[in-house]
Amino acid sequence: MITAKEYAARCNELMSMMVANSIAIITAAPERIRSRDTHYPYKQATSLSYLCGFAEPESVLVLIPGRDQGQSLLFCREKDKLRETWNGYRHGPEGAVANFAVDDAFPIGDIDEILPGMLEGKERVYYAIGKDPEFDRHLMSWVNEIRGQKSRGSAPPGEFVDLDHLVNEMRLIKTASELKVMRKAGEISARAHCRAMQISVPGIYEYQLQAEIEHEFMASGASAPAYTSIVGGGRNGCILHYTENRQKIADGDLVLIDAGCEYENYAADITRTFPVNGKFSAEQAAIYDIVLQAQAEAIAKIAPGAPYNVANDATVAVITEGLRDLGILDGEVAELIEREAYKEFYMHSSGHWLGMDVHDVGDYKIENQWRVYEPGMVVTVEPGIYISPDNTTVAEKWRGLAVRIEDDIAITKSGCENFTSGVPKTRADIEALMATN
Ligand code: GLY
Ligand code: MN
Ligand code: MN
């Protein structure tokens, strides 16, 4: 759990990076309609969640370092008995101050009266320009209002600076309590993958495996899948973001499941690939072992001080050599890597930052150089091989095979920790688990 004290520390850290006489404005995500008058489950904007944990829509966090009457302010919905009866609890401004690490709170309906006065005379406004067109318009109208009063001595803010860059760098390095939550998200997701392996049987539908996975997420206290679960039987595994999940899985097919839960606002992201009937065929085993070795060699290279791309380079080397040894690629390994011949079969990179967003924030390069791993970063390692069913340049026995293996790796002081090791990934361990259903 992230405590109010930690949220306050995050706001303080952000304010310490802001220039003197400045203001930061962080808006909530809008609610989105799914169908007529029903909405998608509400998901708070991650920057606002990160800074104060407030989960209601129609809210705006404002940070004004050095302000005597309070530096962190929240605009939020007022309490409303009728609306709360229909749509759920609201903290209201008083509840916000009592339960969240903000110094003061105001009704969102009063923002037009209050915020222009706070903007006036500020040198710099930190704001995620262009992310919320409706709020952009409000902000510009307040600024224009101040400009219109210039002759009466009002000073419009001097400059607008992207807020995300500062927050994203903070989010990239996780604290001990964030890592604890992410470890739990990984454990729950690993259990869900074990459950899918154990229930699997030829003729099962992809959506039935999805249901098993998501049952385990929700029964364990997760709030949702962190992204739409991918359950691809057979050739569907070759579609990287396959989410239809409607097909029956035939005896002899592999199943590729890429699914992770969101637990207390943090994502897990696991992929496992296994034979629906519990036994790898010779061809499946050959491809599987290359991907597993690629992943192992990448993880072995992840440690503080190593540049980000060591993991991707390791996966490319192992996959290229493996495909060449099987006769799927033809030529010298170095030359095949040089001309990126592997990309026909391994068309994504080895991973991404993981955190509150599944593809989490944070730069991968600094001044055009790969940044180095630091303790507190979390990255996925997810090599794969996908042989299109229509690829007539490879022997028929390989066509339609797809394998990806993905784990969530936290960088520690001495190396790294795998948050998702609870689900097996050697062929022997998968076959043993599947035999226990
Ligand atoms: N689940 C999306 C990804 O692995 O990046
Ligand atoms: Mn994934
Ligand atoms: Mn991923």
Listing DSSP states for 174-201 in one string gives --HHHHHHHHHHHHHHHHHHHHHHHH--
Map residue 49 onto helix, strand or coil. Answer: helix
Q: Last residue of some domain: 144, 170, 196?
A: 170
CB burial of residue 174 (10 Å; 0-12, 13-18, 19+): buried
Give dist(CA 204, CA 213) in Å, integer: 14
Q: Which of 382, 389, 344, 383 is nearest to 236 (CA)?
A: 389
Q: Which of 32, 28, 100, 86 is nearest to 57 (CA)?
A: 28
What's the whole-model pTM score? Answer: 0.96
Instruction: Locate 160 and state its tokens.
Output: 């607008």
- Verify that 137 and 202 share a domain, yes or no: no
CB burial of residue 294 (10 Å; 0-12, 13-18, 19+): buried
CB distance 361 to 379 below 8 Å: no
> CA 175 → CA 50, 53, 223, 364, distances in Å?
12, 15, 21, 19
Find all residues with CB under 8 Å of 243, minimum gap 6, and list them.
228, 229, 230
The C-alpha angle 89, 184, 74, rounded to 5 degrees, equals 35
- Verify that 143 and 215 share a domain, yes or no: no
Give dist(CA 345, CA 307) in Å, integer: 25
Give dist(CA 270, CA 315) in Å, integer: 17
Q: Is the Cβ atom of 216 under 6 angstroms away from ligand 1?
A: no
Q: Is the Cβ atom of 386 under 6 angstroms away from ligand 1?
A: no
The domain that contains 85 carries what CATH number?
3.40.350.10
Helical residues (DSSP H) of 100-246, grouped into ranges: 111-119, 133-148, 164-172, 176-199, 206-219
- Verify that 191 and 307 share a domain, yes or no: yes
- Verify that 151 and 200 share a domain, yes or no: no
Q: What is the largest CA-CA distance in the chain?
A: 82
Give dist(CA 275, CA 252) in Å, integer: 7
The domain in which residue 56 lies consists of 4-170
Q: Which of 221, 269, 259 is nearest to 420 (CA)?
A: 269
- Verify that 398 and 292 share a domain, yes or no: yes
pLDDT of residue 150: 74
Give dist(CA 279, CA 287) in Å, integer: 14
Q: Last residue of some domain: 150, 170, 190?
A: 170
Name the helix (H) or strand (E) containing 97.
helix 92-99
- Verify that 365 and 421 share a domain, yes or no: yes
Find all residues with CB under 8 Å of 324, minimum gap 6, and list them.
330, 331, 333, 336
Active-site annotation holds for 269: yes
Rg (CA), the chain: 25
Active-site annotation holds for 359: yes
Q: Last residue of some domain: 140, 170, 200?
A: 170
Q: Is the Cβ atom of 269 under 6 angstroms away from ligand 1?
A: yes
CA 24 to chain centre: 24
Active-site annotation holds for 258: yes
Helical residues (DSSP H) of 173-325, grouped into ranges: 176-199, 206-219, 282-301, 310-325
- Verify that 185 and 52 share a domain, yes or no: no
- Verify that 207 and 250 share a domain, yes or no: yes
CB distance 384 to 312 below 8 Å: no
Name the helix (H) or strand (E) containing 126.
strand 124-127
Q: Is the Cβ atom of 258 under 6 angstroms away from ligand 1?
A: yes
pLDDT of residue 111: 97
CA 295 to ligand 2 centroid distance, Å: 14
Active-site annotation holds for 165: no
Give dist(CA 215, CA 211) in Å, integer: 6
Give dist(CA 197, CA 323) in Å, integer: 27
Q: Is the Cβ atom of 407 under 6 angstroms away from ligand 1?
A: no
Which residue carries 């540049």 as its tokens?
Answer: 307
In tens digits, the chain (437 residues) has pLDDT values of 899 999 999 999 999 999 999 999 999 999 999 999 999 999 999 999 999 999 999 999 999 999 999 999 999 999 999 999 999 999 999 999 999 999 999 999 999 999 999 999 999 999 998 989 999 999 999 999 888 887 777 788 889 999 999 999 999 999 999 999 999 999 999 999 999 999 999 999 999 999 999 999 999 999 999 999 999 999 999 999 999 999 999 999 999 999 999 999 999 999 999 999 999 999 999 999 999 999 999 999 999 999 999 999 999 999 999 999 999 999 999 999 999 999 999 999 999 999 999 999 999 999 999 999 999 999 999 999 999 999 999 999 999 999 999 999 999 999 999 999 999 999 999 999 999 96
CA 353 to ligand 1 centroid distance, Å: 11
The domain that contains 201 carries what CATH number?
3.90.230.10
Which residue carries 């903290």 as its tokens?
Answer: 91
- Verify that 135 and 184 share a domain, yes or no: no
- Verify that 163 and 177 share a domain, yes or no: no
- Verify that 232 and 365 share a domain, yes or no: yes
What is the number of structural domains in the chain?
A: 2
- Verify that 185 and 200 share a domain, yes or no: yes
pLDDT of residue 158: 84
pLDDT of residue 149: 83
CA 67 to ligand 3 centroid distance, Å: 41
Residues linked to residue 430 through DSSP beta bridges, in sequence order: none
